[in-house]
Amino acid sequence: MGCEQIIAGTGQPVKPHVHACLKTKTKRRGTLIGEALTLQELEKRYDKAIAVNGVSLTIRAGEFLSILGPSGSGKTTLLTMIAGFESPSSGQIMIGRRDVTYMAPNKRNIGMVFQRYALFPHLTAAANIAFPLRMRRINETLVRRKVEAALAQVHLDGYGDRYPHQLSGGQQQRVAVARAIIFEPPVLLMDEPLGALDKKLRETLQLEIKGLQQRLGATVVYVTHDQEEALTMSDRVAVVANGRLAQVGSPLELYRSPVSAFVGDFIGRMNFLEAGYLGRENGNHMVRLRGGNVVATAPAEDEVNPFPLGQTVSVAVRPERLSLAPHGRDRGAILTGTVDAAVFAGSFFLFFVRTQSGDDSLLQIQMPVGHVAASFRRGDLVDVIAESNALRLFANLEA
């Protein structure tokens, strides 16, 4: 079979491409190139400031994990410590069975893709891609064959002789990805690699990067502040706040079952309603919404202790789990309000409803396009209805 590659998990050969021929030995059937990455109590201090605070995380071999968080949350510092550009103040970093905590970056065998591409301007696309192989003194015939395959893999056939300034932003990023993976690193780090691209191109490259990662079986750690990007591409997402892990889980878990108000607010759209805690009833937590009715909610997973009676709490609900009805038509309404704006978004209407809570808060309600949704107009008095088990209870909005 020579330098043909076995597609992981299928046993089917494919023609040589970006990863097919680097090693002298042919890969065994079903073998992935990725290795597990383990972070143990990782910490980074700058004088008295703590950028990363006690992060422990195991990323499985072949997994695509995104580190998601707002600016200043510590996500990029975490990535640079994995890459070796920053030394941790304490803790341990393992790639497979290798302790790389204080190993030089060039010894870690890690691929890296940056937001600004970091291509050599004086080298052609082909020479940029070939650079990691030539640094490893790979046979030149093999280098040329690998580079040709890599260009095809990232849809840049015929572009090898062009210089970075002759390529578009998306093409430059494809070159950067090909350069990062051509030497078959067990771990590939990506630091907001699509942040400089327009929305349509970004969405296209998201699918290409994810598809490439799945075919190769590489372990990917992907830093982003874009929630939609993280949910689209990842097997799991690690949400970071104030240097700590706020929650780690699948995109669906984070969206449906956030463990804190911060995670719920950061992942997708979320409404927060102020309420007073009334106690438990039939296993449910009962609250009285400000300006609304008494409703039953489920607690967040980390809220194991009951709240004191009368404590002010936050009730969270996704816009798509709410609907509107003309005032007085539905006895199950949780709130009454006035339609402040109605936005047509193609497949759904997004309504902004000013509630009667006394604080002029606006509630977002997302309803599918149809006769009922289209009938509501600005100024209409409406009742807000929540789906069963849609309301979640949190102590506050802190991370």
CA dist 232 → 57, 58, 173, 204, 257 (Å): 21, 21, 19, 12, 17
Give the sheet arrangement for strand 381-386, strand by strand.
322-326, 381-386, 335-344, 348-355, 362-368
Among left, alpha and beta (phi > 0; psi -120 to 50; other), residue 314 is: beta
Highest-confidence segment of 8-12, 19-23, 220-224? 220-224
Q: pLDDT tens for residues 326-352?
A: 998 877 899 999 999 999 988 899 999
pLDDT at 118: 84
Average pLDDT for the chain: 86
Instruction: Give 193's pLDDT tier (boundaries 50, 70, 90).
Output: confident
Read off the amino acid at residue 163. Answer: Y
Q: Examine the pLDDT at 246 and tell me if it is beyond 50.
A: yes
Q: How far apart (Å, rounded) are the C-alpha atoms in residues 120 and 114?
A: 13
Q: pLDDT tens for residues 353-379?
A: 998 776 677 999 999 998 788 899 999
Q: What is the mean pLDDT of residues 74-86?
A: 95
Residue 139 has a CB neighbour count (10 Å cut-off) of: 12
Q: How far apart (Å, rounded) are the C-alpha atoms in residues 73 and 240?
A: 6
Q: How far apart (Å, rounded) are the C-alpha atoms in residues 58 and 61?
A: 9
Half-sphere exposure of 116 (CA within 13 A, CB side): 3
Q: How far apart (Å, rounded) are the C-alpha atoms in residues 43 and 64?
A: 23
Q: Examine the pLDDT at 1 and tell me if it is beyond 50.
A: no
Q: What is the mean pLDDT of residues 185-198?
A: 87
Q: pLDDT tens for residues 139-175?
A: 999 999 999 988 988 889 999 999 999 999 889 988 9
Q: Please state which CATH class domain 5-256 belongs to.
A: alpha beta
198 burial level (CB within 10 Å; 0-12, 13-18, 19+):
exposed
Q: Examine the pLDDT at 9 and tell me if it is beyond 50.
A: no
pLDDT at 147: 94
CA dist 375 → 326, 339, 370, 371 (Å): 10, 12, 9, 6
Domain 265-394 belongs to what topology? OB fold (Dihydrolipoamide Acetyltransferase, E2P) (2.40.50)
Domain parsing of the chain, residue ranges: 5-256, 265-394
Tell me the Cα Rg of the chain: 25
Q: Are 376 and 324 in contact (CB under 8 A)?
A: yes
Question: What does pTM read for this prediction?
Answer: 0.82
Instruction: Give 114's pLDDT tier (boundaries 50, 70, 90).
Output: confident
Q: What is the mean pLDDT of residues 226-246?
A: 94
Q: Are 39 and 208 in contact (CB under 8 A)?
A: no
Q: Examine the pLDDT at 25 and tell me if it is beyond 80.
A: no
Q: Examine the pLDDT at 22 and tell me if it is beyond 80.
A: no
Percentage of residues of the chain with pLDDT beyond 70: 88
> Residue 362's closest CA among 378, 398, 338?
338
